Structure 1
Amino acid sequence: MTKEQKEKSGIAVLLDFAGERKWLTYLGCVLSAAAQLLGFGPYVCIWLVARDLIAVAPDWTAATGIATYGWWAVGFAAASIVLYYVALCCTHMAAFHCASNMRKQVSSHLMKLPLGYFDNHATGELRRIVDGCAASTETLLAHSLPDVAGSVTMVLGMLVLLFVFDWRLGLACLASVVVSLLALMKVMVGEGVEFIKQYIDASTNMSKAGTEYVRGIPVVKVFQQTVHSFKAFHDAINEYSERARDYTDKICRGPQVVNLSALNGVVVFLLPVALLLAPGEGDFAHFVANFAFYAIFSAVVPTAMNKLMFSTEAFQKADDAQKRVRSVLEAKPLPVSEAPEHPSGNDVRFDDVTFTYEGAEKPAVEHVSFEAPAGSTLALVGPSGGGKSTCAALIPRFWDADSGSVMVGGVDVRQMDPHELMDQVAFVFQTNQLFHQTLADNVRAARPDATDDEVLAALSAAQCDDIVAKLPQGANTMLGAGGAYLSGGEVQRVALARAILKDAPIVVLDEATAFADPENEALIQRAFTRLAAGRTVIMIAHRLSTVVGADKIVVLDQGRVAESGKHEELLAAGGLYARMWADYEKAASWRIEGEKAAATPAVAMEGGEA
């Protein structure tokens, strides 16, 4: 987003999204204003009818122009409706174009952001920005903006008409408008604006927490918990409820009572003034006709003011929406080299790499250096929080290193074309997402142009033959809602099939056996063997048995390289890896002695001992 765009008002920024159809918004506002002016016509015609009838009373037949005034009133009303309809057609076309462009631009910009951005921004929050903000903007431009133009025109026209016939009665009607405006200022400015912002923030937080809660429902149900046990969602609901209640009680209730009483009680201001003026009127019939006009026209006052009030609220929400959209568009995209370099091999090298997450006080990895030659397998191990996953994520540029270099084929990944880098690296996450598509299409996501035979070959290489065999339509079976479901270990094998189909020369495995049972782990290990053949593999694992055969093991502790070498070398060194291996062997040999454990309490109970 440019400096010029930042300096524009919220409405101007939103209209920029409408592009070449921006003029339709302006045309719609002009037509809406004209429609409101035509809407005054029937009231003037009614006044003319009242004037003629009072002038000839009690000989009503002498009032010959009544029918003409009636047809004029119908014409004004019909013209007002038609113009307003055309106005809304114009603003809706511009609004739909604006919302569509906003979604496209935000989505396009999100595609340019580092993958790590999505780890720091919840799905619910991004969904609300992409979809919710566009929807509120659509409401603003399609309805609120033309209504504001019409409302402003209506108020200005009303002020003119109030003083055309009898300025004294006009002032009486205007007094209700002044009281209403003073009440609305309490809601729309100052503290009221801050409350609106807090209310919208609370709504966003509740949406974000709600998404996380829905995803965690299986855990909640397994442990027989309630929504109150899911603290984030519970607190978000309470915060939203509190903000809504505070806005209603502390900001809106008093001013709104005064506002509605003043607008709907115009006669309270009008009637006393009329009674005071009536005795001194020389042309009493003309005065009565004027009073009739103001009594009828007073119905316009609350309509105009209510439209203005609700339009202002829409402006506040739309301003908040464009700020949230702007926060995404201002996020720095992944830098792309203007003269990208091409890797000359498949080796991976970290050269004095330091990286700190946004908002963190200390680096996640600090001065890390290691090398994985082409075709070798390098394992990253160490205590939790040591920086293993961070190192793995720096290779495909989830983030960029603060200092040092991450190099693939002798080229800094920041100097490579992002598409070429992604072609070089296949990433198997600790948790993998399957789409609501067929099994074959889920695998084909790695390479959309792959043939059915290539997909089946990848599934077979990933040890997925049993999965294909048990599904009703084989690889063409739909997965997810309304289809088949796979276990965690089976999902991991499908993810490996994706990586095999992609056929990238570098493979990063982040805890790929974390959720696998022993049977699935054995199959996954076989798939690893097939996947690793001829490729450079960076493997992260807590189960040390899976990295024993690695060409090199790098031990990370608190973001630094503690030691490195082969399995036997590290054991002989007696350092951190040796201690981790001893703990692993101890844990692997741990057993539950069920009979002894069960018998002891039974004997104690029979003996009556505590």
Structure 2
Amino acid sequence: MSDAQQTGGVSAGGEPRQSGAVGRLLAFAGPRRALTYLGCALSAVSMLVSFGPYICIWFAARDLIAVAPNWPAATGIAAYGWWALGFAVASIALYFTGLMCTHLAAFRCASNMRKRATAHLMHASLGYFDTHASGALRRVVDGCAAETEGLLAHKLPDTAGSIAMIVGMLVLFFVFDWRLGAACLVPVAVSLACMFHMMSGRGMGFMTRYMESLVKMNKTGTEYVRGIPVLKVFQQTVRSFRAFHDAIEEFTVLAQDYAVKWCQTPQALSLTFISAAAVFLVPVVALIAPGEADVARLATNFAFYAIFSAVIPTAMTRVMFMSEAFQSAADAVSRVEEAIAAPVVEAPAAPKAPRDNSVTLEDVSFTYEGADEPALDHVSFSVPAGATVALVGPSGGGKTTAASLVPRFWDADSGRVAVGGVDVRQMDPHDLMDRVAFVFQANRLFSQSILENVRAARPAATREEVLAALSAAQCDDILAKLPEGVDTVYGAEGVHLSGGEVQRLMIARAILKDAPIVVLDEATAFADPENEAKIQAAFKRLARGRDGAPRTVLMVAHRLSTVRAADKIVVLDRGRAVEQGTHDELVRAGGLYARMWADYERAVSWRISSAERGVA
């Protein structure tokens, strides 16, 4: 069954359906959605039963007033009391049973939302995670699912109870004395008018903006926490981290503008009227009492309505929170559906196997979502099997984009990316990933041992194979300084590594994977001279397979010293392949690469001198 069929919230084309938020939510609960309906029904019955004590009070007041002042003659008072107690206990029992049902459905719904969103994201293209921050995705997958629990477990049964309460309240308003009932409707009408005011104008769409602000604050907050060491080094505060500071300010302004400027007066007016509902009975009684034939009955009705009016604040407050909960749930389920609609790496019905390990880009164009200019514009080049091809060029030229199309982090908008003569879109994604190993400039280690971090590339690898890969990646000095060697847990008890050392561990992963194609993206970006020398030695080992045969290597580099020995160099500028050839050929051509090489040579020859002027 597809995600769309399971959730009922996403159409075949990936667009959210226009059905109600509650219906889309309940689709996640599966068979347990029936418990939601049962729980809501029990909650509604519970609310109707809760009116029993008020009716018993009316009967008791009627009998007492009828025999006043001979109170002992009212012999049915005790029975009314027991009936009232029975109604109260029954109401609580029904409500508790209803909540048990809705909680079981709510927990299953939230669990399924998390599972299905996570399972879908596991098949999403890796490029999707470059454009969606981890903090924002965590907020969507976990936070939005948690918000729906409150709606299904509490707000939905309370809504059913509120509807039953309002219907029952309106009936009781006019059962005993329609004039006093009409007086009780005045604060209800005022409260409803205030609510409509709060939900109109700025209130329309507030919950969507509110959730967007929360997601943004969560995302930038995660980035801020990761950047705390930098802030501390430079003695800065949160104001220096402009994105997080602005997100907090935006959320503050949004909340204050809505709560204070838009809702403060109508909310205060609503609470004042519904809390003083009994006050509206007094002038009505004063007007009708002089002409009333049965004053005792009027007094009984007045007592009933004065006590029963206490239900009004509860009913109206539930209605108010009910609308807020539905807005929140609608936004939450929409965001989860967006995550479930994330583009996935589709497996072809009849996958093809490549004939060799060559890589080819044929007239490839690609534009990132929301970008005005293409990242790649009709780019073509080839990497023969066993050859090393380097991508160089100015920043933003499209080097990383071109490399990321090979393992299908993204799919080309036009043109063809092929491995062994087969379009990568016609290959089984698992087969493609098994054939490609990649080392990026931004790598993260798990909070596990170094052994398990490297073994992640091939979980079935033995300890000896992991140690051999680490040695081949020039990591012996790293293991020597760790307290427990390869079994040291990264990040525990102050165990951290430099960027260059982490890069060597990533190369060890790639060596252990033993994939025939290797993609390197700025692999020496964080390396000091000593680490760079070791990384270069690790590259030479990585470029050879376990059997000694050369691997196919596509490398992205800014340090031109790392690409001199490449079999071919492709120069990318503004999304186009402007030059191709060996180092010597490109230098003789006198084009962009030759200028970049001249700049590089001047940079490496620059040094601080002890001469009188200070700089040579």
Name the TM-score class by shorter chain.
over 0.9
Residue number in structure 2 paired with 1:512: 523
Asked whether the 8 Å contact 1:505–1:535 carries over to 2, the reply is yes
Asked whether the 8 Å contact 1:489–1:516 carries over to 2, the reply is yes
The superposition leaves residues 413-439 of structure 1 with CA deviations (integer Å, 9 ceiling, x where unpaired) of 011111111001001011101111111
Residue 148 and residue 361 in structure 1: after superposition, are their counterparts in 2 closer, same or farther (change >3 A)?
same
Task: State the secondary structure of the residue aligned to 1:485.
Answer: coil
Aligned equivalent of 1:565, options 566, 581, 591: 581
Q: Does 1:547 align with 2:558?
A: no
**Aligned equivalents of 1:136, 1:441: Cα separation in 2:** 35
- Using the TM superposition, name which of 354-363 and 1-10 deviates more: 1-10
Asked whether the 8 Å contact 2:608–2:615 carries over to 1, the reply is no
Q: Does 1:586 align with 2:597?
A: no
**Aligned equivalents of 1:193, 1:321: Cα separation in 2:** 16
Task: State the secondary structure of the residue aligned to 1:7.
Answer: coil
Aligned equivalent of 2:420, options 409, 412, 428: 409
**Aligned equivalents of 2:380, 2:210: Cα separation in 1:** 48
Task: State the secondary structure of the residue aligned to 2:554.
Answer: strand
Residue number in structure 2 paired with 1:439: 450
**Aligned equivalents of 2:267, 2:478: Cα separation in 1:** 64
- Using the TM superposition, name which of 491-500 and 319-328 deviates more: 319-328
Aligned-pair Cα RMSD in Å? 1.6
**Aligned equivalents of 2:206, 2:257: Cα separation in 1:** 8
Q: Does 1:596 align with 2:605?
A: no
Residue number in structure 2 paired with 1:41: 52
User: Is there any run of 5+ residues in structure 2 with no aligned partner, and where?
Assistant: 1-9, 545-549
**Aligned equivalents of 2:539, 2:16: Cα separation in 1:** 51
Asked whether the 8 Å contact 2:213–2:251 carries over to 1, the reply is yes
Shift, 1:219, TM fit:
2.2
Aligned equivalent of 1:324, options 318, 335, 340: 335
Residue number in structure 2 paired with 1:142: 153
Residue number in structure 1 paired with 2:11: 2
Residue number in structure 1 paired with 2:302: 291
Q: Does 1:341 align with 2:330?
A: no
Aligned equivalent of 1:419, options 419, 424, 430: 430
Runs of 4+ in 1 over 3 A off after TM superposition: 597-600
Residue number in structure 1 paired with 2:5: none
**Aligned equivalents of 1:462, 1:7: Cα separation in 2:** 54
Shift, 1:595, TM fit:
5.4
Task: State the secondary structure of the residue aligned to 1:337.
Answer: coil
**Aligned equivalents of 1:199, 1:256: Cα separation in 2:** 19
Q: Does 1:199 align with 2:207?
A: no
User: Is there any run of 5+ residues in structure 1 with no aligned partner, and where?
Assistant: 601-610
Counterpart amino acid of residue 542 in structure 1: H
**Aligned equivalents of 2:67, 2:598: Cα separation in 1:** 113
The superposition leaves residues 34-72 of structure 1 with CA deviations (integer Å, 9 ceiling, x where unpaired) of 111111111111111111111111111111111111111
The superposition leaves residues 367-413 of structure 1 with CA deviations (integer Å, 9 ceiling, x where unpaired) of 21111111111111111111111110010011111111111011010
**Aligned equivalents of 1:516, 1:226: Cα separation in 2:** 29
Counterpart amino acid of residue 229 in structure 2: P
Shift, 1:190, TM fit:
4.3
Shift, 1:598, TM fit:
5.9
**Aligned equivalents of 1:52, 1:334: Cα separation in 2:** 76
Task: State the secondary structure of the residue aligned to 1:164.
Answer: helix
Asked whether the 8 Å contact 2:217–2:247 carries over to 1, the reply is yes
Q: Does 1:267 align with 2:278?
A: yes
Residue number in structure 1 paired with 2:31: 20
Residue number in structure 2 paired with 1:246: 257
Task: State the secondary structure of the residue aligned to 2:416.
Answer: strand
Counterpart amino acid of residue 11 in structure 2: T
Asked whether the 8 Å contact 1:35–1:81 carries over to 2, the reply is yes
Residue number in structure 2 paired with 1:535: 551
- Using the TM superposition, name which of 123-132 and 25-34 deviates more: 123-132
Shift, 1:552, TM fit:
1.2
* Correspondence 1:369-518 to 2 at 5 A: 369-482=380-493, 484-518=495-529
Q: What is the TM-score normalised by the length of structure 2?
A: 0.95
The superposition leaves residues 48-103 of structure 1 with CA deviations (integer Å, 9 ceiling, x where unpaired) of 11111111111111111111111111111111111111111110110111111111
Asked whether the 8 Å contact 2:607–2:615 carries over to 1, the reply is no
Residue number in structure 1 paired with 2:7: none
Q: What is the TM-score normalised by the length of structure 1?
A: 0.96
Shift, 1:192, TM fit:
1.1
**Aligned equivalents of 2:154, 2:383: Cα separation in 1:** 60
Shift, 1:188, TM fit:
2.3
Aligned residues: 600
Q: Does 1:153 align with 2:169?
A: no
Residue number in structure 1 paired with 2:547: none
**Aligned equivalents of 1:82, 1:109: Cα separation in 2:** 41
Asked whether the 8 Å contact 1:380–1:555 carries over to 2, the reply is yes
Task: State the secondary structure of the residue aligned to 2:279.
Answer: helix
Counterpart amino acid of residue 588 in structure 2: A
**Aligned equivalents of 2:361, 2:456: Cα separation in 1:** 29
Counterpart amino acid of residue 317 in structure 1: S
The superposition leaves residues 12-35 of structure 1 with CA deviations (integer Å, 9 ceiling, x where unpaired) of 111111111110110010000011
Counterpart amino acid of residue 29 in structure 1: C
Aligned equivalent of 1:574, options 590, 595, 606: 590
